[in-house]
Structure 1
């Protein structure tokens, strides 16, 4: 049953990742309209909401430090996250495709990889290194200030289990 849930979660996230590629009808108008293209670094909360079903892989709550580097003149961004608890952390570099909502907001989807610092110990994104899919939203709320929220799904992110890890993040960042 857990494998079926993982496949369903992975399929849903994969659909969100590739759906911007099929939204070509609005692409021409999006190219001429201003879009949110600022880079930022922020911090906030993080929670792992799935477990691997074995000992030492329970759900977890902690924090995150995230950054976005907007690649000029493209809808692509390079992102990096550190998801941490009191016991462990994971570094998650990611490349995303960003879709403009308005001149101050984007939704994004992409892929990356989590590097768990202390293998076998639970982090918000599992207890072993794994490929990661991500979807999220970001919005400038004041000059120089952005809020962000995303979900990261680690594929086979637990040792001794084929279970995936789902981590939810939210935070506030400062633009540069």
Structure 2
């Protein structure tokens, strides 16, 4: 039997809107957490999940992304949880903010982001230290988001060519609207 994991999502309240006035991404959370692993705050939501259905944690490139189907006990629903390390840069918006802006512009064919935020924002344990060296690499921050829609299929698993074309068409519509509104 696979182990059950408990996940905390610290929802960044700024994900609910796109803050055009603050392009530097200076939002800070003033909440103090006493115990980073178990402390729950009003900004924290708990989910339970098991083995990831996508796991790139051992990839030498990328952001060590893992994707889980998780259960949210308050509403008794299943959602998708994406666990990764985002680049700590003011020029690269967190994924939750991108989803918020896409939805604000009514872009079609994109998933619904429920919560998104840095893992325990007040803790230094969820940030890399590589940037402290002279020949520094990019700093990363542990980041999680949940999406309402769950698709555990593979793009190569389609019934016929018509279904594949519909999938590609829907993806292109989302990308074209995103480019039209200068979201990326």
Query: TM-score category by the smaller chain?
Result: under 0.3
Q: TM-score, normalised by structure 1?
A: 0.27
Larger Rg: 2
Q: TM-score, normalised by structure 2?
A: 0.26
More strand by share: 1
